[in-house]
Structure 1
Amino acid sequence: MTDSQRLKGKTALITGAASGFGRGIAERYVAEGARVVVLDINEGGAKEVAGSLGDAATAVACDITDGAAVSAAVDAATSAFGELDILVNNAGWSNPNTPVMNVDEATFDKLFAVNVKSIFHFTRAIVPHWRAIGRGVMINVGSTAGLRPRPGLVWYNATKATVNNITKSLAIELAGDRIRVCGIAPVMGETGLLETFMGMPDTPENRKKFIATIPLGRLSKPSDIAGAAVYLASDDADLVTGVNLEIDGGRCI
């Protein structure tokens, strides 16, 4: 550890941090000097990740669609660390790629509850704390699906477009409170949801077809998203708010 760590002395809560992008962000944040709350509905997974990160991390189990649970989780985070500088709304969910008329109401409701309403809950829970300490950074993990929607994921695409708009709306409303709000829009990544998005078996041939649509020629990795999340949370980005940073290898061009 050196003084060049970009998040030295900062504290962060990361949702969906038991796997995928969230785990990658948690690991990178600790490497950059932050203390991290590893939050996930998968309590065992959250504890495993926090344990692997040592004293700089603590695990919190939470259903992010439950407002009371979210408030309790934020209280637990501030109790553990005293103050909370950064919130990464990373947790998300997608239905399997399927024609729009085959998506039922329960699936629609879950998509919006996990991907959108959770941000409502966390905003209400954490903004009073940030106003009290005079600062805060929220990072919302959206998707290129909200910028360049494709067939088979209509309502998922809609949730991510909403997340992009929430990021900009919160950024302008909360700027006077010294609260920055930024977004990250990854292209399809090497995570557990990959086959869900592709709507086809995850074979080398099918991956090759999708990767051919990405100018830089590969899928995103947790390390790509973590690097962006470090920059946006750091003091290097002190004048950056309201952006939806595309980590997509050029797919949205």
Structure 2
Amino acid sequence: MTSSMSDKAGLVTGAGSGIGQAAAIALARAGASVMVSDIDETAGTETVAKIEEEGGTAAFLRCDVSDEAQVEALVDATVSAFGKLDFAFNNAGTNGVFAPIGDMDSAVWDRVMKVSLYSVFYCLKHEVRAMEENGGGSIVNTASGAGLIGIAYNAPYTAAKFGVVGMTRNVAMDYAPKGIRVNALAPGSTATPMMMNAFEQNPGDEFRNSILAGIPMGVLAEPEDQADAVVWLCSDHARMVTGVTLPVDGGYLAGK
């Protein structure tokens, strides 16, 4: 049986760990050639090694997604390495710190905007140009449940993710006639380094238990759960899906 991503090539940002790493590996397993990108060179090269150990095709390029010139270079490098850009998973982001807005450091706000919102703009801008050259493609942006209903004590992250959802819808409409699909993934609480960092900022059982209590399934998602959704959205199996924000959250948003 032909794999769902056979003969396709693309890129994943924030692919050194967590959801990005799981998605890069899953895309390669499905037959894709993957440009792995992360600001952490050691982590990114480890992801490439994992893919190559399984017989997949991958390369690495370090990229700070808050820098547009580096994002443009990443897209160009992907096309140079693989001959085209069929898909992109714009996953890199940061959650900042938990604090009420009156106590929020403006430098934290600016950093979250650059890494979690501006980066998606930079990626989309250069990815759609490359995809137009080969007649279409599929882009997935990492949003969050925080981009659909908001979360307490993290205004910059919430604002950034609402922006990602809005940008996803806008670009999906603009580029659908050109064969480019644009969707967003809204991961629920997932066992990633970012989630573990949140637990460290809120020690004790109270915060963890409050997170689990809000998930009808009662457990954290695994990065692989998110990766499976990314592969589907990037593949031709989702050919009529665009402008959608897909929650993968164990039912968290169902009653909200």
TM-score range, shorter chain: over 0.9
Q: Which amino acid aligns with 2:31?
A: G
Give the TM-score normalised by structure 2. 0.94
Q: Which residue of 2 aligns with 1:109?
A: 110
Q: Which residue of 1 aligns with 2:85?
A: 84
- What percentage of residue pairs aligned between the two structures are identical? 36
Q: Which residue of 1 aligns with 2:141?
A: 140
Residue 26 of structure 2: which of 25, 28, 31 is its match? Answer: 28
Does structure 2 conserve the Cα–Cα contact (< 8 Å) formed by 1:184 and 1:245? yes
Q: Which residue of 1 aligns with 2:15?
A: 17
Q: Distance in 2 between matches of 1:68 and 1:31?
A: 30
Q: Following TM superposition, by how much is the alpha carbon of 1:99 offset from its aligned partner in structure 2, in angstroms? A: 1.7
Further displaced range: 173-182 or 45-54: 45-54
Residue deviations 1:172-228, cap 9 Å, x none?
A: 011111000011101121111114445511x55642331011111111211110010
Q: Distance in 1 between matches of 2:13 and 2:218?
A: 29
Residue deviations 1:64-121, cap 9 Å, x none?
A: 1111111111111111000110010000101121121111111111111011111111
Does structure 1 conserve the Cα–Cα contact (< 8 Å) formed by 2:14 and 2:21? yes
Q: Distance in 2 between matches of 1:53 and 1:230?
A: 15
Q: Distance in 1 between matches of 2:218 and 2:60?
A: 36
Q: Following TM superposition, by how much is the alpha carbon of 1:152 offset from its aligned partner in structure 2, in angstroms? A: 0.8
Q: Which residue of 2 aligns with 1:48?
A: 46
User: Helix, strand or coil for the counterpart of 1:180?
Assistant: strand
Q: Distance in 2 between matches of 1:252 and 1:230?
A: 22
Does structure 2 conserve the Cα–Cα contact (< 8 Å) formed by 1:188 and 1:197? no
Q: Which amino acid aligns with 2:88?
A: L
Q: Which residue of 2 aligns with 1:184?
A: 185
Q: Distance in 2 between matches of 1:29 and 1:204?
A: 35
1:65 and 2:70 correspond? no
Q: Which residue of 2 aligns with 1:224?
A: 225
Does structure 1 conserve the Cα–Cα contact (< 8 Å) formed by 2:39 and 2:63? yes
Further displaced range: 153-162 or 15-24: 153-162
Does structure 2 conserve the Cα–Cα contact (< 8 Å) formed by 1:38 and 1:50? yes
User: RMSD of aligned C-alpha atoms?
Assistant: 1.3
Give the TM-score normalised by structure 1. 0.95
User: Helix, strand or coil for the counterpart of 2:193?
Assistant: coil
Q: Which residue of 1 aligns with 2:202?
A: 200
Q: Following TM superposition, by how much is the alpha carbon of 1:164 offset from its aligned partner in structure 2, in angstroms? A: 0.6
Q: Distance in 2 between matches of 1:131 and 1:206?
A: 45
Does structure 2 conserve the Cα–Cα contact (< 8 Å) formed by 1:7 and 1:32? yes
Gapped regions of structure 2 (runs ≥ 5): none
Does structure 2 conserve the Cα–Cα contact (< 8 Å) formed by 1:96 and 1:196? no
